[in-house]
Amino acid sequence: MSENKLTIDSRVSLGDGNSMPLLGLGTWAAQPGGETRDAVAFALETGYRHIDTAKMYNNEQDVGEAVCQSSIPRADIFVTTKLWDSDQGYQPAHDAFNRSMDQLGLEYVDLYLIHWPVENLRNDSWHALEEIKESGRARSIGVSNFSHKHLQELFSHSDTRPVVNQIELSPFLQQPAIASFCRSENIQLTGYCPLAKGRRLDDTVLTDIAEQHGKSPAQVMIRWALQKKQAVIPKSSNPARIVQNADIFDFQIGADEMVRLDGLDDDSRFCPDPLSMP
């Protein structure tokens, strides 16, 4: 994965032999109905090939409709959905997956994730995900918001490794310990809230580097993630910002600038800290 050659079609190999496009569209808080359908359809037209949804986002049906109505072959689109906390456990996870597939209207998803590491239930949920993968209805399985401790526990219960850990990552929250553990275990990181929800875009290091490249601070944040070899799923329902967030393949952040961006980590979190989960 050479950062010089990154394109919107760049994919990363996963530990199970499948691959995942590095840039995806996030859909948390995209309203069910036309907002989600239009955002996903427009993103696919723009060249995105990876869409991130979840049962909890209440928009799987709209994501599925946009994917099915697209002229892009299903095999070229990578769809992720997630098992919600109240559905965890062995049989509840199987049932929840079936409901998600009914909502999506797809024959398979590319990636099914345990959304959060729910105590006492996550290992049983994982057993269900292993069977779902074996059935072919999820091509890959992984986790989200798993800390080092949660992953170690999973490893002790199963020989099947998650191929992805989706966690909150941005220049303002770099999580070096879990990031390096995942890298050492061949678990691909996907960064959520990569724009820090749009709340840190006026940071002067970001605005300075953005100005140097004729780009926006949001574009610098997304490019930073890709140069860190993270998959990244910025959310937008706004067509101009959907285009902007994918217009990041014609510049490269220099080594000195990466060091400056790396210096922005101040543990800014917009979602709960998984370390607080037993």
Residues that bind ligand NAP (CB under 6 A): 26-28, 52, 115, 144-145, 166, 192-198, 201, 216, 218, 233-238, 241, 244-245, 271
Q: With b meaning 16 or more CB within 10 Å and e meaning fewer, what string describes 144-183?
A: bbbbeebbebbeeeeebbbbbbbbbbbbbbbbeebbebbe
Q: Which is nearer to ligand NAP, 202 or 256 (CB)?
A: 202
- Ramachandran category for residue 8: left, alpha or beta (phi over 0 → left; psi -120 to 50 → alpha): alpha
Rounded Cα gap, residues 116 and 129, in angstroms: 14
Q: For the chain, first and last CA: distance in Å?
A: 36
Of the candidates 48, 57, 112, 192, the residue annotated as catalytic is 57
Q: How far is the CB of 100 from ligand NAP (least distance, A)?
A: 14
* Residue 168 token pair: 């909150």
Q: Minimal distance in Å, beta carbon 241 to ligand NAP?
A: 4
| Distance in Å, CB of 169 to ligand NAP, minimum | 10
Nearest residue (CB) to ligand NAP, 17 versus 278: 278
CA distance 101 to 99: 5
Q: Cα-atom radius of gyration of the chain, to the nearest Å?
A: 18
The residue of the chain with the least Cβ separation from ligand NAP equals 26
- Identify the three-state secondary structure at position 144: strand
Q: Which is nearer to ligand NAP, 28 or 181 (CB)?
A: 28
Query: Is 112 noted as a catalytic residue in this protein?
Result: no
CB of 167 to ligand NAP, least distance (A): 7
Of the pair 41, 134, the CB lying nearest ligand NAP is at: 41
Give me the half-sphere count of Cα atoms (radius 13 Å) on the Cβ side of residue 86: 3
Question: What residues act catalytically?
Answer: 57
